[in-house]
Chain A
C-alpha cells in the first residue's frame, strides 16, 4: 500500500489532517499542538502543500493514536467558522444523514 506521504499533495484551499482514533474509530482532527481533537474547530488549518505535508507526516507518525490519516478540504464560512469542504467530510463530522434505526 502506498503511504499517504508518497502521494502527490495537491491543495486547492484551506485543509486539515483527519483520521480515525485507533482505540474506537472515532473521527479526529490534527491540532496545532501535535495532538488530536474530535472537534473540527480545533484542527490546525494548512493552506499550502509543504505545511500540509509536514502536518500529515507528523500525524502518520502517531500510528498508535490514529489510523488512516489524510488531508481533507475545509471551508471557512460567513461567520469565520471552519466547516467540512465536501459532503464526505461533512458526513464524517456530523454523522450519517439519516435517522439511525433506533429512532426511526
Chain B
C-alpha cells in the first residue's frame, strides 16, 4: 500500500525510539509526538477529567488542546506541536495530569 513517506519520496534521518506507556515505539526525526503516535497506530493518549473519555488529535494545529499528553513528567503538552526526541517518556494523560505528575515527582 502507498504511504505518505513513499508519496513524497522521503529519505528520513535515522529513526529513534521513545516510550508510550512503557511501550517502545519507533519515531522518524522531525515528527511531532502526535505524528509519531499516529504512525504507531495510536490515536488516543488522554482521558478527560470529567468522564474519563479517550481523546487524541482533533484540530492538529495547536488550537483545541484535545491532544494533551504527559512528556518526561510534564503534563499538558500539546502532542501536535511538540517534536519527539530520542528517549522521550510519553504517558497517557489522565484528567488534568496532575496526579500523574505527583506520582512521578515523589
A interacts with B? no
Q: Which residues of B contact A (CB under 8 A)?
A: none
